Chain A
Amino acid sequence: MTDTQLRRYEIFVIERPGRPPVHAGSVHASDGELALQNARDVFARRPDCHGLWALPAEAITSHPAGSAEPPASVAPEQEPYLVFGKPGHKGVQTFLGTVQAASAAEALDAGRNTLGGGIVDWWVAPERCRLATQPEDAAPMFDPSKDKPFRDQAFYPVETMMRKLRRDRESGRAKP
């Protein structure tokens, strides 16, 4: 296939200030900056997004499922790893915290020892692979969705209109 759909990035959404980034899905993009732009269009068309993270799919190691090791650091030195976990079988991958580790395997161990119980599935990725929207990007990225109330079903008073129609019909005032 000559015409590729570019690299895949996993996307995490911060719904409100102070809430942890939660996995939303993935987008394809040629670089991280465009991944964040695409993620805005795909996952933040409504005003419930305060920030976005993008991680190249190949940078994530999951457990117990397992996957390829992320690209190794130049030297096997400790570096910060992001740790995500799925809380319970109906949960979604959610950011739990950062650990210092020299490999994904070490980061998984550290995460399991220090971050949260009840996690059924873990993801770790080197922090250096993450791209995130910055606080100063928030207004131009996310404010445009706020003046589009017509994207919300509550904008359409169809139940009220239906009730009125039915009432009019019952009381015989409906048009013939």
Chain B
Amino acid sequence: MQTEDGANLAEFEARLARGEKIEPGDWMPAEYRRQLIRMISQHAHSEIVGMLPEGGWITRAPSLRRKLVLLAKVQDEGGHGQYLYHAAETLGATREEMIEALLSGRAKYSSIFNYPAAAWADVGVIGWFVDSAAILNQTMLARSSYGPYSRAMVRICAEENFHRKQGMEIVLRLSQGTAAQREMVQGAVNRWWWPTLMMFGPRDSDSPNTPTLVRWGIKTRTNDELRQEFVDQTVPEALAMELSLPDPSLHFEAEAGHWRFGEINWDEFWNVVQGRGPCNEERLQARRKAHQDGAWVREALAAFSRRQDRAA
């Protein structure tokens, strides 16, 4: 902070206090810019990699209706990645650097997408759990102090509600279905519950970036607060559908008004974050292949563009 211009910093923080949005080109602390580029590019990568677990089910969806819905959902995730790459670019990051960081394995993305979608019911549970969790996080980020990030989040949240509801509809139908369908959906719930809780990130006490992010209004709530809200929202839904959650110590604490959950397996979380999850390698391979397979299209576009320029 010693290198920052004190007067600029005071004015910057006064603007935040007045609730103004910071825009590209406005003065901002170097650390604010760095943290935003880190967060937004990770978020963009998460949307892009997030297409993969469910994308594999498009060709195997059980009906034409489900196939159309899943296609639309996966296409939305791709679009969300584009909104977010744009927001990061307004801070001076380039698309090339960000894609290169993802493909080389240097960039991080949400741990949740390194788990496999083993059965059709997983598509439902991903919508119910993962998209609900994402909406909580993104509703908070829609109030972020950086204008382009905030606006991308407003747009994304509106679309994510479709994602959440199509997933819940699948889970509701399966949970009221045959014994085999109930068993399939319970299996998916068991697989996704803990990874979803991990998706909110490390405990506040292990989250070194949180105080800075909250101070500058990039985040307005902490990982633990959001995780608790997700649990409080989801447990009653599971109870209504008579689905159990794989946590023997889950209980309602009436005094606090919260559902209390057991200890998260943080070793598993850090393993996945550090690249040793069930599908990390597979996800990166899929992204690299997509990038390589698209190279001829980019080359053709560039050649066409050069020809147009020469003609002009």
Contacts and interface: CB of A to CB of B under 8 A. Distances in A.
A45 B165 contact: no
Contacts of A90: 19-21
Contacts of A148: 68, 72
Which bracket fits the contact residues of A?
35 or more
A112 interface: no
Interface in B66-124: 68-69, 72, 75-76, 79, 82-83, 86-87, 89, 94-97, 99-100
A57 to B, nearest CB: 9
A43 B158 CA distance: 13
Which bracket fits the contact residues of B?
35 or more
A157 B21 CA distance: 36
B25 A162 contact: no
B94 to A, nearest CB: 8
A26 B19 CA distance: 25
A86 B23 contact: yes
Interface stretch (B244-252, B264-272, B300-308): B300-308
B162 A3 contact: no
Interface in A38-63: 41-43, 45-46, 62
Interface in B148-176: 148, 151-152, 155, 159, 161-162, 164-166, 168-169, 172, 176
Contact of A153 (B26, B75, B165, B304): B165
Contact of B161 (A3, A8, A153, A169): A153
B9 interface: no
B301 A45 contact: no
Contacts of B82: 25, 27, 42
Interface stretch (B188-196, B235-243, B276-284): B235-243
A86 to B, nearest CB: 7
A28 B96 CA distance: 11
A3 B295 contact: yes
B55 interface: no
Given A31-B304, A42-B82, A162-B237, A6 B298 contact: yes
A166 interface: yes
Given A30-B304, A42-B79, A65-B25, A25 B152 contact: yes
A136 B298 CA distance: 29
B310 interface: no
A153 B23 CA distance: 31
Interface string A122-143: 0000000000000000000000
Contact of A41 (B21, B79, B100): B79
A4 B240 contact: no
A92 B237 contact: no
A131 B280 CA distance: 41
A30 B305 contact: yes
A158 B301 contact: no
Nearest to A93: B23
B29 interface: no
A90 B144 CA distance: 11
Given A31-B308, A150-B69, A162-B237, A3 B168 contact: no
23 contacts: A4-B302, A25-B82, A25-B151, A28-B95, A45-B79, A64-B25, A65-B23, A67-B25, A92-B151, A148-B68, A148-B72, A150-B166, A153-B161, A153-B165, A156-B162, A156-B169, A157-B169, A158-B168, A161-B169, A161-B172, A162-B172, A165-B176, A165-B240
Interface of B: 18-21, 23-26, 65, 68-69, 72, 75-76, 79, 82-83, 86-87, 89, 94-97, 99-100, 148, 151-152, 155, 159, 161-162, 164-166, 168-169, 172, 176, 237, 240-242, 295, 298, 301-302, 304-305, 308
Cβ-closest 9 pairs across A and B: A65-B25, A156-B165, A30-B301, A5-B95, A153-B161, A30-B305, A89-B20, A25-B86, A158-B168
